[in-house]
Structure 1
């Protein structure tokens, strides 16, 4: 059965943020490839035997992409301290056993809630970062399109063999679950927490197998001080929690980025990047990597937002994520968009709204290496319809089309969501 879906406003989410008034898409049921995109009436004439649906007060756009989310630690409620990354990490270490116990007890319901939060916000794809692999099977069976980042962490040389073996086991399990909607991937936790021997082995695997790779990078001022001066919070952190008498950083910011150079032809993303400098931004561009920002998490843990000035005159896609509930009050990407809208008052608000929606669609797809994120012929059939009580734009009035801005302000839950050419909502 051929389908044509249309709405008053179709956000194509291409580089220019094209909007088609009374636009639509055509696709074959259960065939994951968009056949055509354009004006709804034109598509109906082109495919007269299709089943047609039009939403006169709706917005059609690609299903949103949450490029960085931790489904683990979803049991958290007010156990962690915010306002400083070191304070938060200390509280996480202190509460870790308690939170993990709660998580293990209610894990199935917590994971289901996290998946449903994505669907109910119009999210079709996620970059899911997992330290343990407990969420792997459920995410592989979920309606979501998942890039599953098996995360490696561990800086103790004596434990590398064990940790690396565990990582390979999780990665192989993920490979066995591979499907059109489940992609195995690798995550390096961060430069402060991962020994270079294991990091290099995993980079080699990602380069050889063309696996997406992601890493946290320069999330806090503490991390930058540690990588550049071998001092500050992380020095005492390793002394207190790991009883290392004279801990030393394994990398400088630049040497860590240099290690990633074999991944130029592989989907590569660096998350947070709150404390990068211009030279590191240039290196990230040279790597053809994406940056993923998680604004609410960044505000809670570091009292900062990503500096968008680092993107000026550079080809660096900026994707959007929610991070996890250990550093957020929920994992709703629409809420993340709304907070982002208020985080950059120096920018033109309509241009910012368009850029943010691209961060949640087109650039999220680039960060994760997906064939979606824009409404275009040949792309995956991942789209959402949001309906509103009134039109977001009146084209007969002499004013700019502010529907992207109004969408961010007012969107709540899609009335329809398709992932992999299948109806989810």
Structure 2
């Protein structure tokens, strides 16, 4: 008998949903991890014969799957969770959120808010998140310290904020941050023009050129509301997506966030450009912004990924809840209970998010050679019994499941529901202190 091979980690699970191959479920199998990467997926008995692990984790009441990919958010806004609820978007932004940000947002606010957000995301199964917010250098530091995979897009707007005086300064700072993390294996820096209505043609064009030269991602709020589209037609004589297309900003590296207002010309531009749609159903529902036509996008071969948006408008960062809402809403909007399927819903929260970020070769599915970004969910809760189809349970009944383990590149972020890279009590104390400060003022 050949000698057993030493590996870093062996995860034995009742079920494994790899996402790719599509619609596949493995039962009573193990994942072997070495050097932070998946080296094998095989039955328990074969794993015991082939490998000697440094650490073995037995999860015989669990389902294991790729870590969830949260493709859009504003992490530090977790400190504004519940601060201004039940307002339309324009009122919410102009009368509540932007004044609060002007008064309170600085490096410390972003550091503490990002820690709070990452802790919540780890607890709910996210292993990779996209962020667009001020002081992105603080977001990057916290993400690196927590060993969390991330895409951090630095904001660009035409007006001054607490982070800078205007577009030229934002871009200069962002390029410096990009250079600092150029070789980082977990953090990718990109461009975050806030929206077509807050960034001029001149600066959108400059971002398009720089992003192409650097092969960097672009994330932009787009077609979030009907009013945005109407205002663009009145001012520019065209819809926002047509405008950014003409400016060179709509490419396979562009992530279009929200897209609740889509007509046939928009669909054609998305298909032609290869741009991605980031669907944030719960934030859109809460702000009454509209419905993203996920079924139409899927039919047109447009990649649809999911994001939570910020906790100030959601009010949580739980991607499990988001994927369930996305699936149910898509069926209602399309009038088709078969689309999307449970496996397609899970794909939107994993491999589709990886594709949107240009990371599909690294994460988003459990395949040999990919990074070991893995989560485990416990299934012993009475509310999820019986289990006929574990993918359906995850898509439609995941409130009865709890995330118990999380790894990024083979390093544990959570074991048996205990965070490993963050101090939860300290984070909660800081959040409470910020709440008291903001309430006083």
Which TM-score applies when normalising by structure 2? 0.81
2:18 maps to 1:6: no
Displacement of 1:33: 2.1
In structure 2, the residue corresponding to 1:215 is in which secondary structure?
strand
Which moved further from structure 2: 198-207 or 125-134? 125-134
Number of equivalent positions: 396
- 2:343 corresponding residue in structure 1: 354
Aligned-pair distance for 1:291?
Answer: 0.6
1:410 aligns with 2:400: yes
Cα-to-partner distance string for 1:191-250 (whole Å, 9 max, x where unaligned): 1111111111111111111111111110000111011123xxxxxxxxxxxxxxxxx689
1:94-142: CA deviation from partner (whole Å, max 9, x where unpaired): x533344344475543322111011111111011112343433223332
- The structural deviation recorded for 1:259 is 2.9
Gap runs ≥5 in structure 1: 231-247
Distance 1:155 1:106 in 2: 21
2:229 to 224, 228, 239: 224
Counterpart for residue 16 of structure 1: 22
CA distance in 2, matches of 1:258, 1:200: 9
1:45 aligns to what? 49
1:57/1:79 CA distance change after superposition, 3 Å: closer
The equivalent position to 2:119 in structure 1, one of 116, 121, 130, is 116
Residue number in structure 2 paired with 1:292? 278
- Provide the residue aligned with 2:194 in structure 1: 189
> Following the alignment from structure 1 to structure 2, what is the Cα–Cα distance between the partners of residues 402 and 417?
21
Q: Cα offset for 1:84?
A: 2.8
Structure 2 residue 409 is matched with structure 1 residue 420: yes
Task: Give how far 1:9 is off.
Answer: 1.1
In the superposition, the TM-score normalised over structure 1's length comes to 0.84
Determine which of 209, 220, 226 is the counterpart of 1:204.
209
Q: Secondary structure at the match of 1:325?
A: coil
1:169-197 Cα offsets, whole Å, 9 max, x none, are 23312430341011111112111111111
- Name structure 2 gaps, 5 residues minimum: 1-5, 415-441
Q: Is the 8 A contact 2:19 2:66 kept in 1?
A: yes
Map 1:139-178; keep pairs closer than 5 Å: 139-154=143-158, 162-178=166-182
Residues 313/361 of structure 1: CA separation in 2 closer, same or farther (3 Å cut): same
- Structure-to-structure mapping, 1:66-145, within 5 angstroms: 66-80=70-84, 82-92=86-96, 95-104=97-106, 106-133=109-136, 134-145=138-149
Seen in structure 2, the aligned counterparts of structure 1 residues 99 and 172 have a Cα distance that, compared at 3 Å, is closer
Structure-2 change in CA distance of 1:113 and 1:186 (3 Å): same
2:313 aligns to what? 327
Is 1:64 matched up with 2:68?
yes
In the alignment, is residue 271 of structure 1 matched against residue 257 of structure 2? yes
Distance 1:349 1:374 in 2: 23
